Each structure stands twice: as C-alpha cells, then as structure tokens.
C-alpha cells in the first residue's frame, strides 16, 4: 500500500514539475489538405446565414472570404453559444458579444486569415449582411460571396496527435 502511495506521489511530482510539451503545428501535405467549405453564397439584404463547419479541436484553417458582387459584409468563425450571442446582439436583444480576432472580418470585400479551432464544440461560419455590428458593414444590397475554408494543419498536443 505504501508503495502505491509513493508511486502516486512520484507521478504527481513528475507531471507537475516537468515542462509540458508545447503543442506543435503539423502541416498537412497537398494530398492531405481537407476542404471544409468551398461554396458561393447569396445573402439577401438585412439577413445573415450561419453554416456549420465540420471541424474539431486543433484544426488549423485557412479561410478566404471574397465578395463577388454587392457591398461589404461581416463574417465570424464562432462556436454555437457565441453564434446565439451574436444573433441576440444584431437583433437588438443585447449590446454585447464576443468574437475571435483572427476569426472575423468586419466591413470586408476580401479577407484571408488563418484560425485554430480551440475546442470540440460545434463551430459555424456566420455571414452577416444584416448590419448592427460596431465597425461592421452597412447592408446596401444582396451580396454574393465566395467562401473557401481548408484544413491545412493540426496542433499536436501532449505527444498525441489530433485525429483527422
């Protein structure tokens, strides 16, 4: 019994005092790059659209949003609970929501960014032609948008690789 206590104490000391391995970014080769979303979208004036993304924690995404026709728009990459907060904000039920700096574009006609999925919740691309976002686009007409999202890498954590 004492032997088990000594082993458990030793294990706690090792896991708490040895430096943790920093997650490493593992880039996929050309044949492994996965298209998450590659679609044109039409968004009517004063509307928004949310598109569920097939992603998991650790995925590294290359995101390109390009307005093909119409005025600028806003976009966000968000978890489901933040999408609900955003909808409440743009529809006037609250005046606050949280977004990720690298996972958004305000008042854009073209933006390319990279984003890392930070948890295993449901994730969405939110395209906003509704307005009502501080520093965001003001809707003028229907907008035609090209969306290209590719998984280009994943984070390797604690010596174990993320499943793909």
Q: How do the domains of the chain map onto residue ranges?
A: 22-156
C-alpha to C-alpha distance for 95 and 85, rounded to whole angstroms: 9
124, burial (CB in 10 Å: exposed 0-12, middle 13-18, buried 19+): buried
C-alpha to C-alpha distance for 61 and 59, rounded to whole angstroms: 6
Residues in a beta bridge with 24? 156
C-alpha to C-alpha distance for 129 and 46, rounded to whole angstroms: 6
C-alpha to C-alpha distance for 38 and 81, rounded to whole angstroms: 24
pTM comes to 0.78
C-alpha to C-alpha distance for 78 and 9, rounded to whole angstroms: 41
Q: What pLDDT does residue 157 have?
A: 55
Residues 6+ away with beta carbon under 8 Å from 53: 36, 37, 77, 123, 124, 125, 149
Q: Is the pLDDT of residue 44 over 50?
A: yes
Lowest mean pLDDT among 28-32, 123-127, 137-141: 28-32
| Closest C-alpha among 120, 111, 109, 101 to residue 148 | 111
Residue 52 binned pLDDT confidence (cut-offs 50, 70, 90):
very high
Architecture of domain 22-156: Sandwich (2.60)
50-63 mean pLDDT: 94
């Amino acid at each position: 019994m004492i032997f088990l206590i000594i082993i458990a104490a030793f294990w706690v000391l090792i896991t708490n005092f040895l430096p943790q391995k920093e997650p490493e970014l593992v880039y996929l080769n050309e044949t492994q790059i996965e298209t998450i979303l590659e679609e044109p979208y039409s968004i009517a004036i004063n509307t928004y659209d949310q598109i569920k993304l097939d992603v998991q924690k650790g995925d590294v995404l290359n995101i390109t949003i390009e307005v093909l026709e119409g005025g600028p728009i806003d976009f966000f990459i968000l978890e489901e609970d933040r999408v609900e907060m955003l909808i409440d904000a743009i529809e006037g039920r609250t005046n606050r929501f949280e977004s990720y700096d690298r996972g958004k574009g305000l008042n854009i006609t073209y933006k390319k960014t990279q984003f890392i999925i930070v948890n295993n919740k449901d994730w969405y691309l939110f395209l906003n032609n509704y307005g009502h976002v501080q520093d965001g686009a003001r809707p003028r007409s229907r907008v035609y948008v090209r969306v290209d999202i590719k998984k280009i890498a994943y984070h390797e954590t604690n010596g174990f690789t993320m499943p793909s």
